[in-house]
Amino acid sequence: MNKFELLRTFVRVSELSSFTLAGESLGLPRSTVSEQVRALERLLGTRLLNRTTRRVQATQDGALLYERSKDLLSGMDEIESLFRADDAELAGRLRIDLPTMMARRLIVPALPQFLQRFPRLEVQISCTDRQVDLLREGFDCVMRIGALGDLDVVARPVGQLSMRNCASPAYLERHGVPRTLEDLASHRLVHYVRNLGARSQGFEYEQGGELRFQAMDGVVTVNNAEAYSAACLAGLGLIQVPAVGVDEHLRRGELVSLLEPWQARAMPVSLLYARQRHVPRRVQAFMNWLTVLLQSQVEPVAGAS
């Protein structure tokens, strides 16, 4: 059995603390993952993982092997890439996470172009608006919209998305058209939060370069971009959303742009990947392709050279 494959499996189990999650990440049955780890333990003559019904934890020897294996596997990927001058020869699995709206409207429809250029790659796509754990969940690349916070990963800025304030014609017919910030006191906002139970800050706008918020009433709170737009289309209130997410609705007259002098601050778009000495060429190829694809949708980051 290939020793490098055994090490790769062991590293994934160590990172995810789970044979099941490691199997899903690698595309292998749980039984195969477990057998490969046992084979590596037999080969090295030491126990690498402590297994209980609730968790999997590295032993002292396992923790040492994990740290050494990451550098070894990274170096092996780098060596293999040196002799693959032809992009079409790039092979392997890409595991990525994308915001639901961007995946459905832009990225997935263009994916055939990427796979035609790299026919030996296999792409696994997760679509979610939550903040996934890139390392623990085994993603090669994650696309994020919005502030990143303190993350132990590398963030590659792509640009920023301009924002729109929108409402449906039906909502405006019932409640009137708000033309000033003061008018918002008699309107409803569809609230968006990352985690249900969190408190919405209200209507966001910039004034004199300073970010401000105005509290607003609302009867619906969502944590998903598609549900956010759907609630607005249903006449449940105003939303503040990236223009790329509603441009079709605006063109068709299904939504109306409002309060243009008081737009929310543009949202940064970033590609996240693991902090490592060498990024696999397949991951570099995907990020480069995605960056070019997004150029027509994003604006330069303010202050960037």
Mean pLDDT of the chain: 84
Nearest CA to 287 among 142, 167, 127?
142
| The pair of three-digit structure tokens given for residue 181, joined into one six-digit string | 């910030």
Contacts of 85 (CB under 8 A, 6+ apart): none
Q: What is the pLDDT of residues 155-189, one digit of tens each?
A: 888 889 999 999 999 999 999 999 999 999 999 99
Nearest CA to 96 among 83, 68, 79, 115?
115
Q: What percent of the chain has pLDDT over 90?
A: 29
Q: Does residue 88 or residue 241 have the better pLDDT?
A: 241
pLDDT of residue 180: 93
User: Can you tell me the mean pLDDT for 77-98?
Assistant: 68
> How far are the Cα atoms of 18, 56, 73, 83, 158 from residue 3, in angstroms, in the given order?
20, 21, 11, 21, 38
The owner of tokens 């609705």 is 249
User: Can you tell me the mean pLDDT for 111-136?
Assistant: 83
Question: Helix 30-44 and helix 19-26: axis angle, to 10°?
Answer: 110
| The pair of three-digit structure tokens given for residue 204, joined into one six-digit string | 């966001």
| The pair of three-digit structure tokens given for residue 157, joined into one six-digit string | 């800025």
